[in-house]
Amino acid sequence: MTAIPLKKDPYSIIITGVGGQGNVLASRLLGSMLADKGFYVTIGETFGASQRGGSVMSHLRVSKEGVASPQIPRGRADVIVSLEPVEAFRVLATYGNPDAVLLTNTHPIYPVGVIRGELSYPPLDELQDVISRLLPASYFIDATEQALLLGNAILANIVMLGALGRLNIVSFDRENFHAAIGRRVAADKVAVNLQAFDVGYGMVQV
Amino acid sequence: MSYLIDEGKNVQHLLMGNEAIVRGALEAGINVAAGYPGTPSSEIIESFSQVAKERNLYVEWSTNEKVAVEVAAAASFAGLRSMCVMKQNGVNVASDFLLHLASSGTRGGMLLVSCDDPGALSSVNEGESRLFAQLLEIPLLEPGDFQEAKDIIKWAYELSEEIRNIVMIRSVTRMSHASGNVTYGPLPSDTAARAKFNYHGPLLDPENGPVISMILAAPELQHGPQQEKMKKAAAIFETCPFNTYTGPEAPELLIITSSACSLYSREAVKILGLGKRVGILKLATTWPLPPVFLKKHLAATERILIVEEVAPTLEDHVKVLAAESVQEIGPKLFYGKKSGHLPSVGELNPDLVLAVLSRLCAVPYEAAAGVFATEAKALMEKLAPPRGMIFCPGCPHRASYWSIHNALQLDGRGGFVCGDIGCYVMGILPAGFSTVKTLHAMGSGSGIASGFGKLRQFGMDQPIVSVCGDSTFFHAAMPALANAIHHRSPFTMVILDNRGTAMTGFQPHPGSPINVLGETVPALDIEKICRAMGAKVEASDPFDLEKTREKLGHLLEYAEGAKVLILKQACALSPEKRGRKKYEVTVDETLCRGEDCGCNRLCTRIFGCPGLAWDGEKKVSHIDDIICAGCGVCVDICPAGAILKKEVA
Ligand code: SF4
Ligand code: SF4
């Protein structure tokens, strides 16, 4: 594929989700694909205690010039990829702007307050309406459902990467993904990851 | 083969700051690395262990940070290059030995790597290890990006050998856990290092004498030379290649910064288009400051903004230097934490630097289009329920705290738990039924409990319980238990043994049968140790709620001396359990009493495992199959017998 020029430098991508969803792997994969393409990539991650059921966020900065801040300034995310719908909204409110592109998994993971029946989780269609109104370029897919069909909910992160690849806003393709995943997972897991990537790729129309 | 030991010209990888430090040490020919796990430092020892065979390294997770420094120091005394690694709180633990080591000096290059956690993103407190460099009188280096995190290590080893003392490297979460492109240098071809400790020379002979920190009322013999080493370091720092300046010759504002803050500063200057007005002096050598280099930059401006996290240590040092050289460089105006331009707590980010720069340079800045930001924020507050911290689904701690909580309630004398450090700190939250009432340092729960136990003399009759993890037991709780047994302090120590240092990612400890290198090693038996020490000891599986509560109740009633209950069950995320369910669990909706249950929805509202959720429409609980870890505990929580389990074949 021809390299897509950066619309901004640094170009800022957020991958978000809930602890345990494979957020960190997704950001490392995307980061190494872009580094392979010759970009400077800086990734800032929030994990650790926040892993235990909390929100997890990775900030990716892509640049031709050099290292960037591992934290994106507020309002400056160009792309938001979320493994969980409410997290997408949380990130969009802090880091979003009307030109940002948003791609989110629609499978909810309930916060404790919701599990306990003390708080309510917004209905998905309402969330979808509100997000699309704020950000015209938003895409919603049930990546977890597809991941489960492939045998493991954790693959939702890879389905999301596939969908991001289809959106053609960041420079990477299946071949880059193949190389990057090959460095990260055991050889016998590569095939199912590629499958997940392909499924995701097929889930969005542009 | 790990990408950490790739070779060849211009090999480049995306590395975490922690990995870059490891690669730098490998390029410098390190032989020994020791540490104690703690976020955000843990990946350093883990990465060393992955290449230990290929690079002829000795790597260990030590019992605690003080021992880690001692182990690394021995390597240095024997002429090898070594590193000790810890999070900032670990430096507190190691500080006693470190003070002596800094006085005795080192031989082979030795580095102390401290990873601080500004903002306490994954710590109990927001610590600051830079002040230790001042107290220990050792040089401090802070890398400003990922390439530098690699490159500075070799330089630091040379410095350590030049001044014959330990050198401190300070990283922060946003360096250690952030990643960036790193271009590799060559690895040494010879990995066959020989160790020998020479001690036949005269006392205080830095090369061949015994290594001691004993001054015997003659401080000039050791403290004097130690200060000379610092002067030498300052002189070397004058030309340190990692201190850089970008900006105009005479900036109207000079930012002095280091570490991740230099990246925030750079971004803020760029966004505001201030490159021609504002200069950035990025320091890697933050203690001692190189005076000539600094004075040159201070002289070129009148206004100085110090951008740093946690304590204003750089600010203080620069101000002292400026005051001492006021005749040379003229009076200055300082901005930073002390002037209130930057917050004195929490981590910094580009926005905070943007705000202060916009104010000091009178350039207006707004993060996002006003309407969008306000609307999105209002909707977020309305639509996005916050995520509290909870134990993982299937976590043994939830079950343990459930039993402790219930046993104390049943006992009815107002008993409480003294907490300790690990995932089980969440015992202070509803996630742990708010059973924990004191929380401090590693091992302190049992020490405090030992003290509370002795207050009976003053009429205190509340039952005292302490909790501590298996790794924490070896790290710092054993002396507390010895104290309690010896002084007959009546309390119950509950050891939450989940087979590894769970919170930081299952690092082995002295109770583990396999070490970080994958070798089979003697596993110390906590139960036998406690018994041999003289405590009354019981053990149980925390998933067996009834037996656990019974044993606890019994121990609480037993008034004599220190008692130990060991609750053994592997962490839900442990490699042996991950992705494997012991039980298939379901809720029989016809049996679920919903809102009429116990004190209203016992399982979801009170027990709170995320694998079980409340269905607000049907008014029953249900199991979320993707999240449930299949531990089966909630089956025994449900008073109606509505939760059913079936063993997975
Ligand atoms: S990591 Fe292990 S010990 Fe920590 S909360 Fe999760 S299950 Fe519990
Ligand atoms: S069996 Fe019950 S307690 Fe255990 S993980 Fe599943 S929902 Fe949670």
**CB-CB neighbors (< 8 A) of B571 in chain A:** none
Angle at the Cα of B92 from the Cα atoms of B86 and B98, rounded to 5 degrees: 80
Number of cross-chain residue pairs from A and B with Cβ atoms under 8 Å apart = 194
Do B432 and B562 sit in the same domain of this protein? yes
- A101-105 β-sheet, strand order: A138-141, A101-105, A79-82, A11-18, A55-63, A40-46, B179-183, B12-16
Angle between helices A23-36 and A174-184 (to 10 degrees): 120
B177 contact residues in A (CB cutoff 8 A): 44-45, 47-48
For residue B523, the SS3 value is: coil
The CATH number of whichever domain residue B311 belongs to comes to 3.40.50.920
Residue B19 shares a structural domain with residue B98 = yes
**Residues belonging to chain A:** 206
Cβ-defined contact of A50 to B181 (cutoff 8 Å): no
Q: Looking at ligand 1, which residue's alpha carbon is closest to its atom 5?
A: B391
d(CA B91, CA B97): 10
Residues B207 and B253 in one domain: no
CA distance linking residue B532 with residue B491, whole number of Å? 18
B380 touches chain A (CB under 8 A): yes
Chain B CB contacts of A44 under 8 Å are: 174, 177-178
Q: Enumerate residues lining ligand 1, CB below 6 A.
A: A 52; B 391-392, 395, 397, 423, 498, 502-503, 571-573
Within-domain flag for B390: no
Task: Please tell me the number of the ligand nearest to residue B611's CA.
Answer: 2
Tokens of B429: 């939250």
Residue nearest to atom 7 of ligand 2 (CA): B611
Instruction: Determine how β-strand A138-141 pairs with β-strand A101-105.
Output: parallel
The three-state (H, E, C) secondary structure of B172-238, written as one string: EHHHHCCEEEEECCCCCCCCCCCCCCCCCCCCCCCCCCCCCCCCCCCHHHHHHHHHHHHHHHHHHHC
Residues of chain B contacting A11 with CB distance shorter than 8 Å = none
> Would you give per-residue pLDDT tens digits along chain A (206 residues)?
556 788 999 999 999 999 888 999 999 999 999 999 999 999 998 765 545 678 889 999 999 999 999 999 999 999 999 999 999 999 999 999 999 999 999 999 988 888 888 899 999 999 999 999 999 999 999 999 999 999 999 999 999 999 999 998 988 999 999 999 998 899 999 999 999 999 999 999 87
For B109-115, what is the mean pLDDT?
Answer: 98
The reply to whether B442 and B526 lie within a common domain is: yes
Q: Determine the Cα–Cα distance for residues B380 and A133; give it in Å rounded to an integer.
A: 14
The pLDDT tens digits for B2-31 are 899 999 888 999 999 999 999 999 999 999
- Using the 3D structure, point to which of B568, B598, B625 is the last residue of a domain: B568
For B570-591, what is each residue's pLDDT tens digit? 999 898 888 789 999 999 999 9
Contact between chains at B369 and A97 (C-beta distance less than 8 A): yes
Q: Which long-range contacts (CB under 8 A, 24 or more apart) does B234-238 make?
A: B234/B288, B234/B289, B234/B290, B234/B291, B235/B290, B236/B159, B236/B162, B236/B163, B237/B139, B237/B285, B237/B288, B237/B289, B237/B290, B237/B293, B238/B290, B238/B291, B238/B292, B238/B293
**Domain match, B515 and B618 both:** no
| Same domain? B498 vs B553 | yes
Tens digit of each residue's pLDDT (9 = 90 or more) over B460-471: 999 999 999 999
Residue B614 has what pLDDT?
Answer: 86
Per-residue pLDDT for B123 more than 90?
no
CB B604 within 8 A of CB B620: no
Closest atom of ligand 1 relative to the B574 alpha carbon: 2
Among A32, A53, A68, whose Cβ lies nearest the Cβ of B389?
A: A53
Residue in A with minimal Cα distance to B376: A93
User: Which range of residues forms the domain containing residue B620?
Assistant: 583-647
Nearest CA among B133, B325, B142, B154 for reference residue B226 = B133
Residue A69: φ, ψ to 5°: -65, 135
Sequence spans of domains, chain A: 11-201
Residue B373 lies in a domain: no
Instruction: Report the nearest-CA residue for atom 4 of ligand 2.
Output: B631
| Longest alpha-carbon distance in chain B | 86
Q: What is the pLDDT of residue B555?
A: 95
Take residue B356 and report the two structure tokens written for it.
């202060």
- ipTM > 0.90 for the complex: yes
Indicate whether B184 and B301 sit together in one domain.
Answer: no
Q: How many angstroms separate the Cα of B380 from the Cα of each of A128, B259, B384, B616?
A: 13, 33, 5, 22
Residues B512 and B541 in one domain: yes
Inter-residue contact B432 to B401 (CB < 8 Å): yes
Please give the mean pLDDT across all residues of chain B: 94
Does the distance separating the beta carbons of A41 and B121 come in below 8 Å?
no
Decide if B506 touches A, using CB distance below 8 A: no
User: What's the pTM?
Assistant: 0.96
3-state secondary structure of B366: coil
Residue B445 CA to ligand 1 center (angstroms) comes to: 19
What chain B residue is nearest to A147 in terms of C-alpha separation? B626
Q: By C-alpha distance, which of A52, A70, A60 is closest to A111?
A: A52
- The conformation of residue B501, written as its DSSP 8-state character, comes to B
Does residue B515 sit in the same domain as residue B558?
A: yes
Which pLDDT score is estimated for A52?
Answer: 63
Q: Which helix (H) or strand (E) holds B503?
A: none
Q: Cα B190 from chain centroid?
A: 34
Query: What's the confidence (pLDDT) of residue B190?
Result: 84
B217 and B330 inside one domain: no
In whole angstroms, give the CA distance from residue B386 to residue A93: 13
Domain harbouring B628, CATH code: 3.30.70.20
Distance CA B427, CA B430 (A): 7
Same domain, B344 and B400: no
With CA atoms as reference, the chain A residue closest to B616 would be: A117
What pLDDT does residue A3 have? Answer: 67
Q: How far is the CA of B393 from the centre of ligand 1 (A)?
A: 8
- With both helix axes pointing from N to C terminus, report the angle between B478-486 and B444-453 in degrees, rounded to the nearest 10: 10
Q: Would you say residue B573 lies in a domain?
A: no
Query: How many other CB atoms are found less than 10 A from the CB of residue A69?
Result: 28
Is residue B372 situated within a structural domain? Answer: no
DSSP result, A139-153: EEE-HHHHHHHTT-G
Report CA(B624)–ligand 2 centroid distance (Å): 9
Give ∠ CA B444-B102-B175 in degrees, rounded to 5.
70
Query: What is the nearest CA distance from B620 to chain A, expressed in angstroms?
Result: 11
Count CB neighbours of B411 within 10 A: 15
Nearest CA to ligand 1 atom 6: B392
Smallest CA–CA separation between A206 and chain B, in Å? Answer: 25
Query: What's the token pair of residue B592?
Result: 């679920």
Cβ(B542)–Cβ(B403) below 8 Å: yes
Contact B323, B291 (CB under 8 A): no
For residue A168, give how far its alpha carbon lies from the nearest alpha carbon of chain B (Å).
23
Q: Which two tokens stand for residue B496?
A: 């939450």
| CATH T-level fold of A11-201 | Pyruvate-ferredoxin Oxidoreductase; domain 3 (3.40.920)
CB-based pocket (< 6 A), ligand 2: B 393-394, 585, 609, 611-612, 623, 628-634
- What is the rounded distance in angstroms from the CA atom of residue A143 to the CA atom of residue A121? 19
Q: Does residue B303 sit in the same domain as residue B321?
A: yes
> Which of B237, B255, B270 finishes a domain?
B237
Nearest CB to B260: which of A70, A73, A75? A70
| Rounded to 5°, angle at Cα B580 from B1 and B593 | 150
Q: Do A75 and B373 touch (CB under 8 A)?
A: yes
- Measure B398 CA to ligand 1 centroid, in angstroms: 9
Helix%, strand%, coil% for chain B, nearest 5:
40, 20, 40
The total number of residues shown for chain B amounts to 649
- Biggest CA–CA distance in chain A, Å, is 51
- Distance between CA atoms of residues B182 and B19, nearest Å: 10
B358 touches chain A (CB under 8 A): no
The predicted structure's pLDDT at residue B558: 86
For the segment B613-640, the average pLDDT, to the nearest whole number, is: 91
Provide the number of structural domains found in chain B.
4
